[in-house]
Copies of this chain bind each other. A is one copy, B any other.
Amino acid sequence: MVEKGLICTNCGRSYELKQLHYRCGSCGEPLEVTLYEGGGIARGNALAQSVLSRYKAFFPFETLDSRVSLGEGMTPLVSSPALAARAGIGSLLLKNESQNPTWSFKDRGTVAGVQHALKLGIRRIGTVSTGNMAPSVAAYGSRAGLETFVLVNEGIPKEKLSPIGIYGAHLIKVAGDYGRLYHESLRIGQEQDIYFINSDAPMRVEGSKTIAFEICEQLAFDMPDFVVVPTSAGGNLRGIAKGFREFLRAGLIHRLPRMVAAQARGCSPIVKAFEAGRLEISREEAPRTIAHAIENPLPPSGNEVLRILRKEEGLAVSVTEASILEAQRTLAMEGFFVQPASAVGYAAVLKLAEAGTIKEEDRVVVVLTGSGLKYTAALDRHTLEEETCALENLGDHLLQYRGL
C-alpha cells in the first residue's frame, strides 16, 4: 500500500493524513486524499463484504475494525424505463441511497471517517448537522464506542431531534450563527483532538467514492453519460467524481461520465456561480426551499465542485419548488419515496432533457440521497386521495375498477 497524504484541491499544498486536517492553511480550500493510481476490487461475495473491505485497495486502512461497519452501501441501481420515457431519454437508473443503515448516503462517509478516527487512535468524534449526517454520525459513533458530539442549531424542532437522540450521542444545541459553527467545530476539533466528520471532510469524500465504484460494477463497467447528484456542501459529488477518476486510473473504466450538480433554485449558490462563469461561489442571502437537506447557503466545497465541473465537462442546474414536489410524487409512484432534496436530481433530469442537454440516446444515473421518511412534513404538500367503504360493500366498491 502506498502511503497516502492529503492535498489541497486548489493550490496543491500537501498535508499529512495522520493529523486532523480539513482545509488548506494557505488558500482555505478543502483538502482531499491523494488520488489512487491503481488497485482493484477485492474478490469475494459482495453479500458478505462491506464497502471498506470490497474496495480496500482505494482506502488507507490496512486492517478494518469489526466495530465500524453497519452494512452501509451496496445499494441497488434500479432501471426505470417509465421515468426515462417521461423524460424522453434512453435510460434512467436510480442509485437508491435510502437503503443504507441510517437511510441516507451519509453512512458511506461516516464509516470511512470512523475507521480513520480509530486508526489514528482518536476516541472522540463529532459533526455539525441537522440533516442526514447527524443520525449517521450518532449511529456509527455509538456503535464504535466513541464519545460522539452532534452539534445542531438551537431552533431544531423536537421531531428532528429524537431520531438523532435515540442513538445515544451527545446532542448539543448550539446558539449562534450556524454557518460559523462549521469552521468553529473544525478549529476546536483540531485543538481538542475531536475528529469532526463534517459534510466535506476528506474521509467523507473518500466514503462517497464507493457510490461511483458500485455504479461501475452494476453497469458492468460500461459508463453512463451523466451522473446527477443533489448537491449541498459538495462532498458527495466530489467523492463520486473522485471514485470514477480512480477507477479510470486503475484501468477499470475507459471514460468518465459527466457529473451534474443539482440544486433547488431557492438555494443554488453553486449553480449561480457556474452559470455566471465565476470561479467562486457567493453566499445565498435568503435561502428558502423545501429541499432542506441541501439548503446550504455557502457550500464549503462549492468552489471545488465548480473546478470539477469545469475540468470534467460537468453541469450545474437548479430546479423550482414546484418541480421538486412533482418529482417527489413521480418518483414515489415509481416506488421510490425520497426526501425532497433527493427529488431534485430527477427534476434536474427533466429540465436538462427538455433543454436538449441530455439527449434521447443518453444513459443517466440519478443518486437518490435519502429516504422520504426523514422528512414526512413534505407529505402535507401533496394531495393524496383516499376512499372509504363499509366492509359489507367492499365487493361492490372494488367492482367499479374492474374495467380499468
Contact = CB atoms under 8 A, between A and B. Distances in A.
A216 to B, nearest CB: 10
A387 B140 CA distance: 20
A48 interface: yes
A101 B96 CA distance: 8
B404 A147 contact: yes
A323 interface: no
Interface string A35-50: 0000000000111101
A185 B395 CA distance: 8
A147 B76 CA distance: 25
B385 A171 contact: yes
Given A46-B45, A382-B166, A124 B401 contact: yes
Given A372-B166, A398-B194, A172 B386 contact: yes
Contact of A386 (B161, B194, B333): B161
Given A171-B387, A220-B48, A395 B76 contact: no
A154 B388 CA distance: 8
Given A337-B167, A379-B162, A371 B176 contact: no
Interface in A356-381: 371-374, 376, 379-380
Given A139-B337, A401-B147, A172 B387 contact: yes
A21 to B, nearest CB: 19
A172 B384 CA distance: 12
Given A147-B401, A372-B163, A332 B217 contact: no
A126 B379 CA distance: 23
Nearest to A388: B173
The residue among A48, A380, A402 with the most chain B CB atoms within 10 A of its own CB is A48
A69 to B, nearest CB: 7
A173 B161 CA distance: 32
Nearest to A94: B71
A79 interface: yes
B168 A332 contact: yes
A335 interface: yes
A120 interface: no
A25 to B, nearest CB: 20
A70 B336 contact: yes
Contact of A373 (B123, B373, B397): B373
A332 B384 CA distance: 32
A34 to B, nearest CB: 27
Given A81-B67, A142-B335, A143-B334, A218 B48 contact: yes
B173 A387 contact: yes
Contacts of A301: none
Contacts of A208: none
A390 B176 contact: yes
B188 A395 contact: yes
Nearest to A161: B386
B102 A337 contact: yes
B336 A402 contact: no
Contacts of A372: 163, 166
Contacts of A77: 48, 71
Interface in A57-77: 66-67, 69-71, 74-77
A167 B140 CA distance: 31
Instruction: Give 5 nearest A-B pairs by CB, closest first.
Output: A71-B76, A176-B391, A165-B384, A143-B335, A162-B379
Given A172-B388, A373-B374, 17 more contacts: A45-B46, A69-B78, A71-B96, A103-B371, A124-B401, A142-B335, A166-B328, A166-B372, A171-B384, A171-B386, A172-B394, A173-B386, A174-B391, A176-B392, A180-B391, A371-B371, A373-B373
